[in-house]
Amino acid sequence: MATDPLTAIAALADPARRELYRLLEAGDRPLGRDELAEATGLPRATVAFHLEKLVDAGVLVAEFAHRGDRRGPGSGRPAKFYALAQDELSATVPPRRYDLAAELLATAVERADASGRPVRECLLAVAAEQGEASGDPARPLADTLGDLGYDPVDDDAGGYLLANCPFHRLASRHTDLICSANVAFAGALSEASADHRPVWLEPLAGGCCVRVGPEAGEAEAAG
């Protein structure tokens, strides 16, 4: 399950947890409870408690390993070591995905430079490729759209209105370009999902420019 950014950041509200996070961020290897207790001056039990809370929130990952060269019988029990689950954390309310937009745009510019094709053409191709890669044939489309911040809402006709635009600020300033890429991304995402649905451009006031229709069977039944 994907980490909820707000939950992860809320877990760092405690000063002790922020200090543990910074120590792990600055290190070049996973660290154990004893090392972190020594570095912070906190009791080992307190450090263990905060580390497990950060693991539960998806901020850290933990693994058991032996420190040093000894292995096998006589090497003792493996210790628990902690590392960052990801190299940075950010959250917005409502959810935005400007990191995804930047990746699509940068890749499109690189492809345009290398191929001589127009940047817009490359952007639509890159958006479709990323949408296909982001789709999950084992999951309903609405679940994946929700994870990406689109906030799908049932339209009572078998389709979805997308109540949130993950690229809101960019779309409001560069509407035609960003919305075209958004439709290409969402359309390919739908193609790769468990319940393929038609996707088209239909701006929603206060929401997203992408509209998701019903599955083919639902559309025929409604007709």
For the chain, how many structural domains are there in total? 2
Same domain, 51 and 145: no
Write out pLDDT tens, residues 18-56.
Answer: 999 999 999 889 999 999 999 999 999 999 999 999 999
What is the value of pTM for the model shown?
0.72
Q: Rg of the Cα trace of the chain?
A: 23
Write out pLDDT tens, residues 91-117.
Answer: 777 889 999 999 999 999 999 999 999
**63: exposed, middle or buried (C-beta count within 10 Å: 0-12, 13-18, 19+)?**
exposed
Give strand pairing partners of 200: 211
Residue 55: CATH number of its domain: 1.10.10.10
Tokens 């560069």 locate to 174
Same domain, 212 and 134: yes
Q: Point out the least confidently predicted range of 72-81, 102-111, 128-137.
A: 72-81
Last residue of a domain, one of 30, 56, 84: 84
Range of the domain at 56: 5-84
- How many Cα atoms occupy the beta-carbon half-sphere of 17 within 13 Å? 20
In this structure, what DSSP letter does residue 45 have?
A: H
| Angstrom distances, CA of residue 63 to CA of 32, 80, 154, 217 | 10, 6, 41, 47
